[in-house]
Structure 1
């Protein structure tokens, strides 16, 4: 029980901040009239977090932490994808909710992969925090800890999409969706700037 509570609270604390991944999932919930249309982004983000957590707990994270070159590659790729996503969101200007063109399942999966697997902060959270915390446990307790952290990700992503859908349902004109896209874009740009600073720190 201790391992489960520890994992649950730790994962909740890490996932609550408004990062690029959270913003994107919420945005998709708001932009789709049917919540089922957000299933691709929920599943992709959930699977990505699951993979990262399992790898971190298995100790693969130690490799990334010990090789600055790999860290630099992750940061550069992550920066590029975040800038591209921010531009895409900023340029989305639906005149009316009925005439919107929400992201297709393929694009949802692509963006979700980029903000999950190429998100340096998400990787460092799983590697530096969840991975090292899991080292406190052995055997069954370690996997209870892992399942607890993984369950938080899945439940949170489903909740985010649902909350986004509520916004989209209330806003029948699409006006608030435009504002949401702009705010989402700005948040992602801030995250990208932080990543750029990390790139500069590594290089110089």
Structure 2
């Protein structure tokens, strides 16, 4: 038994640094104000389809991270035309979301979630999918960058596990933690401020995509 415990120690020493590196690398990329985070935050505050949104974001990171570790990073980088098309479609989608947020903010009396009416799960999931996969930065960050970093570690798979753990921790905390902010958003004015912030984030990201 003593030999078994001691023999497992080197593997832990090899795996743990890669896992921590993956966790920190992912955290540095996703813990920022962005279109996806703003969407998760808003759904959390509305307490509307939070679990599917959180699961979607985590699953997206799992798929993209696995693709990067599998070696698809060079393939993505080698097709700039596809990235350009995705960039323009993503910019148009973000601009539409920004305009929609501004239109909501112009009528604060209708910003109460009960007055606005619940969105269907299909519509929410479709928006989440678009925000996840129509952003070319996600391919560069997750598939190319994280994939490259994974293969510089002694245990690439452990790096990927760290990435997934960071993603799961962040989106779970953001989505379900935002539900506690609902009392703060009992007034339409608070929703107006949030939608203006969302509009600014979406518009900034859209411009960033357009200018490359």
Considering only aligned residues, what root-mean-square deviation do their CA atoms show, in Å? 1.7
User: Is structure 2 residue 27 aligned with structure 1 residue 12?
Assistant: yes
* TM norm structure 2: 0.84
Structure 1: runs of 5 or more not aligned: 199-204
* Greater gyration radius: 2
Mark the CA change 1:102 to 1:185 in structure 2 (over 3 Å): closer, same or farther: farther
Over residues 105-141 of structure 1, what are the superposed CA-to-partner deviations in whole Å (9 max), with x where a residue is unaligned?
1111111111111112222111332011011135xx2
**Which digits, 9 at most, give the CA deviation of each residue in 1:66-122, with x for residues without a partner?**
121111112112112211222222333434344232432111111111111111222
CA distance in 2, matches of 1:9, 1:122: 17
Structure 1 residue 194 and structure 2 residue 204: aligned?
Answer: no
Matches within 5 A, 1:1-204: 1-32=16-47, 37-92=49-104, 93=108, 94-137=110-153, 141-198=155-212
Paired with 1:81 and 1:49, the residues of 2 have a C-alpha distance of: 20
Q: Report the TM-score when normalising by structure 1.
A: 0.87
Q: Could you tell me which runs of 5 or more consecutive residues in structure 2 were left unpaired when the two chains were aligned.
A: 1-15
Offset of 1:167 from its aligned partner?
2.1
Q: Determine the C-alpha separation between the residues in 1 that align with 2:189 and 2:179.
A: 14
Q: What do the CA deviations read for 1:160-197 (whole angstroms, capped 9, x no partner)?
A: 11232222233222321221012111111000000000
